[in-house]
Structure 1
Amino acid sequence: MVFGTLLVLGAAAAGYYVYDKVKEQKAKENYAELISDANDQQDAETVRIKKRAILGRLVYGTYDRFRGAENYEEWWTNVHYRLVPLESVLSVDERNSYAEELQDELCNQYFGVFQRTNESLPSALAPNWVVAIRGTDLSNIEDIINDLRIFTETLHSSTLIPILEAVVRSLVAQHGYDNVNVTGHSLGAAAGLLVCRRLALEGCLVEGHFFNPPFTTLKSLLRVIPKEWRPMSEELCEDGKSLAMELLETDPDPYSKSKALAEFARLAKVNWSPYLYVNKYDVICNDFLSHFKKAKPGTCNYDEEKWYSSVTDLTQWVLGETESFHLFPFAHLNKIKKTKYGFRPVSAHKLWTWLNPRVAGQFKQARLIPRPHHLDGML
């Protein structure tokens, strides 16, 4: 009985692996119309769909480069980009300062820097410079560790973040933030959001496009639990958090809350609004849809869940400093509602779903608060 069950599960996994590879290959081959008729007169939705596909291809290129797949360069060369060595982006002092992180990046190949090679393309479709960050590869233990860091809000402690931030800052300094885009999938979306959020807090609004970004709260993990059990699970979650805080003999840090609210207000003031590609059936990222449900009247400080993470109070006493990347007041949401692909719960998180030109490209401007004229009342 056990052997038969394992055999069925193994066959299902093998079948899905083949299905996934077929979908990836189809996405790789679907590039001819992305560039050939590109022009500034196309409607906004068409441009968005093409830009989404181009950025997704660059992310796929970073996946296949890490995996050592054949002809991985085609992901970007076919849409007129070239891969730029990180050493050419960073100064000598930066390479020395981030020597350890740079070596780790060269081993894990988390991201690539891409420069557009066709100057005739409209910049709205193909930005001059793109930093593309891959997601998790289950064969790489460092990726698994970083995934765990996401859910404890300690991703900033990864060696990935310092070198990624240094590269993005260097590109911005050399070319201006209007000419730089950051994109990533899953783990890469989390890393890109964290870095772009830091820059936005300084008023540097680098455009970011993030596919299936994880939504990291304790409650978000309960999405995998059957609906009828969730109320009990949420109550147990809150009781467990309270018990842990009591055993640790600590109270929520008021400084963390005031800092989080100040950051939220700052992001609203500079009008930072990252582009999020979210699938309704993806349990890793679909909490963004409920989180950005509608704008709230007045100030934001009455609804703590919108600007303060429930993870922070618990993990900062166990693991040290935490840093949220998923809490901000505005976003451009491009969401998938209807799907026909196989094994939907897994496929919903796949990057190839976004390279389908039939998926709508229209973005909805999501706001947790009305766009403020001034923010004095928020603090």
Structure 2
Amino acid sequence: MEVIAVAGIVYGTYVAYNSYKEKEAKKNDPGLIFHANDQNGDARERKIKKRAILARLVYGMYDRFRRKPEIEYKEWWTKVHYHLVPLESVLTEDELKLFAKELEDERQHQYFGVFRRNKDSPLDEAPEWVVAIRGTEPSALADLHNDAKIVLEKLNSSTLIPLLYYVVWRLGAQHGYCNVNVTGHSLGAAAGLMVCRRLALEGGAVEGHFFNPPFATLESLARSCAHVVKRVFIEAMPAEGEKLYDAAKRAGSKFFHAVADTDNTERRSKALAEFKTLAEANWSPYLYLNKHDFICREFLKHFRKATSDQDRKKWYSSVTEFSKLVLGDTETFHLFPSAHLVTIETYPIRPISAHMLWNWIDPHLSYKFNHTKLSL
């Protein structure tokens, strides 16, 4: 009982702290991030100025899902001169019937919204159209289910993906892909990356800004757990711990490689071809990463070194073979050849806070910017 009580106090403290930080984030004036006479710096880096606006749109989706009063959640986007466009006005009558099941699920879970910039907006660098996608709400079982799909690379089976893809495609086809931005946080970042990756492969690249996108496959989680297990083994058994750890690692690696090597020549060829197509399309999403966020920081390691045809981990995921064998069709969203990395550092003793969206709201945020490519 004492353990449960302590856990309850910790969770309550976390919820209160996060709520306080969200309220403080809402008070920030996003207009401060724009300067009319700013002609200096790399054009790609100047696009980061949109960060505070895009984060506010995503927060609007969070508060809408939380059933907060309309006058409260609307402030997230009205103060940055956007209005929410009903999906019914984006899709045709036939498309509404075609996606009836997905629309029903979307009305229940309210994952994303379509926003259009107001004509009187003074923010010239703001995109005309934005699709903003919220992340995980721990109280929503459907969200936790989708999080599990991310780990297994099965997010493509979520009802969120086909509707989201079609909406973004429809906006791009009607208004020009260059006038559409997609943004999301956490689960929403994963969904946005998957959809934008598909569109880029089809020749319809849209600009994407993704906050704390998860890099949490079975393989990456296994590596993280392995480091913890190694420390436990060595501390518990200084003499034999490392040998036992190495033996277990070899056995696990042998098992996954055996699964991954089962008739996957065609899948590897397809994955490499997609990687090269994305490189030719010059699709390069903006990834907003916190170095102390264990959910997204693997992206920093992933883009640290260039790749080659033999370095499969950069363009091919063996986890897809394991998941396909057990669960069916899979799709990777986290493997692409180029990205704009926007990184910050918060306190390492607050790993949960490091994942929160409010870290990105401050217009005067100090960050590092790097455009990185994994050339073949």
Normalised by the length of structure 2, the TM-score is 0.88
**Amino acid corresponding to residue 282 of structure 2 in structure 1:** N
Question: How far apart, CA to CA, are the structure 2 residues paired with 1:278 and 1:164?
Answer: 23
Q: 2:15 aligns with which of 3, 8, 17?
A: 17
Cα 1:291/1:252, change in 2 over 3 Å: farther
Counterpart in the other structure of 2:353: 347
Counterpart in the other structure of 2:51: 52
Whether 1:316 and 2:324 are equivalent positions in the alignment is yes
Residue aligned with 1:345, SS: coil
Aligned residue runs from structure 1 range 32-181, under 5 A: 33-34=31-32, 38-39=35-36, 41=38, 43-44=40-41, 47-48=46-47, 50-70=49-69, 71-124=72-125, 126-181=126-181
Cα 1:85/1:249, change in 2 over 3 Å: closer
Cα 1:356/1:238, change in 2 over 3 Å: farther
**Amino acid corresponding to residue 239 of structure 1 in structure 2:** A
Identity among equivalent pairs (%): 54
Whether 1:279 and 2:287 are equivalent positions in the alignment is no
Are the aligned partners of 1:38 and 1:122 in contact in 2 as well (CA < 8 Å)?
Answer: no
Could you list the runs of 5+ residues in structure 1 that have no partner in the other structure? 370-377
Question: How far apart, CA to CA, are the structure 1 residues paired with 2:246 and 2:135?
Answer: 29
Cα distance, 1:293 vs structure 2: 0.2
Could you list the runs of 5+ residues in structure 2 that have no partner in the other structure? 232-241
**Amino acid corresponding to residue 309 of structure 1 in structure 2:** S
Cα 1:62/1:218, change in 2 over 3 Å: same
Deviates more, 1:9-18 or 1:137-146: 9-18
Question: How far apart, CA to CA, are the structure 2 residues paired with 1:308 and 1:234?
Answer: 25
Deviates more, 1:137-146 or 1:248-257: 248-257
Cα 1:253/1:200, change in 2 over 3 Å: same
Counterpart in the other structure of 2:235: none
Q: 2:336 aligns with which of 328, 336, 342?
A: 328
Cα distance, 1:225 vs structure 2: 5.5
Are the aligned partners of 2:81 and 2:120 in contact in 1 as well (CA < 8 Å)?
Answer: no
Cα distance, 1:9 vs structure 2: 2.4
Residue aligned with 2:73, SS: coil
Cα distance, 1:22 vs structure 2: 0.6
Are the aligned partners of 1:193 and 1:326 in contact in 2 as well (CA < 8 Å)?
Answer: yes
Are the aligned partners of 1:274 and 1:330 in contact in 2 as well (CA < 8 Å)?
Answer: yes
Question: How far apart, CA to CA, are the structure 2 residues paired with 1:60 and 1:43?
Answer: 30
Output the aligned Cα RMSD: 2.5
Cα 1:27/1:237, change in 2 over 3 Å: farther
**Amino acid corresponding to residue 57 of structure 1 in structure 2:** R
What are the Cα deviations for residues 261-304 of structure 1, in whole angstroms up to 9, with x where unaligned? 000010011111000001111111100000000335xxx21101
Whether 1:366 and 2:364 are equivalent positions in the alignment is no
Cα 1:90/1:361, change in 2 over 3 Å: farther
Are the aligned partners of 2:128 and 2:179 in contact in 1 as well (CA < 8 Å)?
Answer: yes
Residue aligned with 1:114, SS: strand
Counterpart in the other structure of 1:304: 312
Instruction: Give runs of ≥4 in structure 1 deviating > 6 Å.
Output: 230-235
Cα distance, 1:340 vs structure 2: 4.2
Normalised by the length of structure 1, the TM-score is 0.88
Counterpart in the other structure of 1:193: 193
Q: 1:289 aligns with which of 300, 311, 314?
A: 300
Are the aligned partners of 2:30 and 2:53 in contact in 1 as well (CA < 8 Å)?
Answer: no
Are the aligned partners of 2:292 and 2:354 in contact in 1 as well (CA < 8 Å)?
Answer: yes
Cα distance, 1:5 vs structure 2: 3.0
The number of residue pairs the alignment matches comes to: 360
**Amino acid corresponding to residue 165 of structure 2 in structure 1:** E
